[in-house]
Structure 1
Amino acid sequence: HPYFLLDACNQALMRLFVLPAWIHTGSKITLRAPLLVGQSIEMKTIPIDKWERKGHQFIRLYIAMLVGGEVVAEIEHTAIFRIAS
């Protein structure tokens, strides 16, 4: 279910950065192969962009999910990490 993919992305964001609060603004998921229950999934996370818009600070992560060394899912995960004051 897509919820579990996005929850894993949220956990990756929180492991990379100490954020008091953040707002998920969007994700683009590309599935390359089925993800099956019980598979061991490796995640690689790379911050790829950071910008400001209307005073809000945004970050975009590239997250690859691998099974057996092969990419099975790619996600671009975007969040506001600092809200305009």
Structure 2
Amino acid sequence: MALRETTQTAEGDLFRQELVNLINLRHPLVQLAQKIDWESCEQRFGGLYKAGIGRPGHPIRLMVGLQLLKHTSNGHVLRKG
């Protein structure tokens, strides 16, 4: 699937805070996300999507992250422990 590349410009982001300033970098999910090889996930699962058919797909990182969250949380909120 051909995903749209996101580009960031200084215009329009004058009052927008960066995510890194809003989240707790010591949270277990943030640390886990930093350890995952997201490029490998995109290469591995990218071939499963076909561009131009149906509704545009969601980013592979989002889909893999949601599945991982579902698997690890087993329906419960993860707590720092």
Query: What TM-score do you get using the length of structure 1 for normalisation?
Result: 0.21
Query: Greater strand share, 1 or 2?
Result: 1
Question: Whose helix proportion is higher, 1 or 2?
Answer: 2
Instruction: Select the structure with the greater relative contact order (CA < 8 A; seq sep ≥ 6).
Output: 2
> Given the two structures, how large is their TM-score scaled by the length of structure 2?
0.22
Rg (Cα) greater in structure? 2
